[in-house]
Structure formats: structure tokens, C-alpha cells
Amino acid sequence: MLISDIAATLAVQKAGQPGQLFDIFEFDDDDKKLVTQTLGKGEVCGVAALPSGVLAQFKEAVMAGVWHMRFTDPAGDLIAEYIEVGPIPMTVRRACTALPALVSHGPAPPGAMNVMPVLTEIGDRIVQYRDGDPAHAIILSLFPMSIEDVNFLQVTLGAGPVQLTSRGYRTCRVTAAGARNVWSVQFYDNMDEIVLDMLQIVDIPSLALATEEDFRDSAARLRDVEEAYFK
């Protein structure tokens, strides 16, 4: 049974392992609805645009480390659907692999204050970054930034292929920039105003990742659900 198989996978999944997939594309609507209701909706959801034009939509279950994945082609037709067990959908990493590992820009625009030192720091950190390194954070909220700074920074970094939202204690929106391993991480208050604005140089921001402890907790929770409703 699918729920049992997912729980068993969660019990042994490692943080560094590839995600484990459970195809539900051929399930009928009633079975898909049952799977969706059983897994529930967790804190993280998002989209990843692949170079092929395929769009991946993903949402985490109530059980951390379990992801409901849906893929649509450029015409909007569903072409794949599965449940994935892993720290973050593998599609998120795959979508970012083609991004350039550099930041190119021209001279500072009139009215700029601090954008050039920020861009220099980003460029240096991109070059230095290696997989597994801890995140390097640049807290933009701490810099006096003019409108010209902000606009030039946004245009220079560009928009990347991944956007995700985490709704925990505070809403956090995480967006890949157009340069590899550069992420915009913004925390919002209850009025949807930014209270913390930062850039992170890292492969994936940790707040979006499920840990091995999450996997084990999710395995236990899913087994409880299975015991209560499916036996």
C-alpha cells in the first residue's frame, strides 16, 4: 500500500540520498483525492520552471519531507505526478543547475549607494562556494539602499527558475536568482510587510529542507495515520 511504502521509506531516508519517488499519475481521481487528504498540506510549496518548458508544482505534506509533485507541459497539460520523499524535490536542484556561476554588471547607476559592494561580495562568494558549505547571508535590511540600488540589484541578479513559500511562524518567500546558488530570502509580518530581507549564497536555503529527524518523525506520524484509518 502506498501509505505504508512512504512510511517505510521515511524510516530509512538519508539527507544526502536522492529522493524516492512514488508514481500516482495513473491513479483515478478518487484515489488521488484520498492520497492528498491523507498527506495533508504542510508549510512549504512552490514552483520550478525547467529548461524544457515543463513547470513543476510542489507542496509539502503535513509530514515534512513528503512532497506532492505535479508537472505540466507548456500547454498546461498534466504529464507527470508523483509523491517524493526527500529533503527538497530533486526537480528544484535540477532546475538550478544550468544557471551561470557568476554575476555580470555594468557601472553603478546614478543615485546608487551600496549596491556595488554587495554585488562584489555576491560574486566573490559564488566563486568560493562549494557543495555542502554553510550558507553565506547578506542582510540587505542592514544596508542603506536607495531605490536605484534595489532596482540595479534586481536587474543584475535576474529572476531564477524556482519560487517557494514557507508558512511557519512567519511567512517566508524564497526565490532563486539568475545566478547559481544565489537566493532571495524574505520574511514577512502579518501585514505582509517585509521584516527581514536577505540574500543567501548556498545550494538550497536550509529553511526549505527536511532533515533526517523530520523523516523519522514523519514516518511515525504516517504510521499512526495508517493504523487509525487504513487497518
CA–CA dist 205, 198 (Å, integer) = 11
CA–CA dist 83, 127 (Å, integer) = 35
Query: What DSSP line would sit under 205-225, residue for residue?
Result: -GGGPPPHHHHHHHHHHHHHH
DSSP category for residue 163: E
The C-alpha cell that represents 89 in the structure block: 524535490
**Structural domains of the chain, with CATH:** 2-88+210-229 (3.30.1370.140), 98-208 (3.30.1370.140)
Contact 79, 69 (CB under 8 A): no
The pLDDT value recorded for residue 111 is 93
What tens-digit pLDDT sequence spans the chain (231 residues)? 899 999 999 999 999 899 999 999 999 999 999 999 999 999 999 999 999 999 999 999 999 999 999 999 999 999 999 999 999 999 999 999 989 999 999 999 999 999 999 999 999 999 999 988 999 999 999 989 999 999 999 999 999 999 999 987 789 999 999 999 999 999 999 999 999 999 999 999 999 999 999 999 999 999 999 898 787
pTM as predicted: 0.93
The pLDDT value recorded for residue 230 is 80
Q: Output the CA–CA distances (angstroms, integers) from residue 100 to 112, 130, 181, in the order listed.
A: 25, 14, 9
Rg (CA), the chain: 20
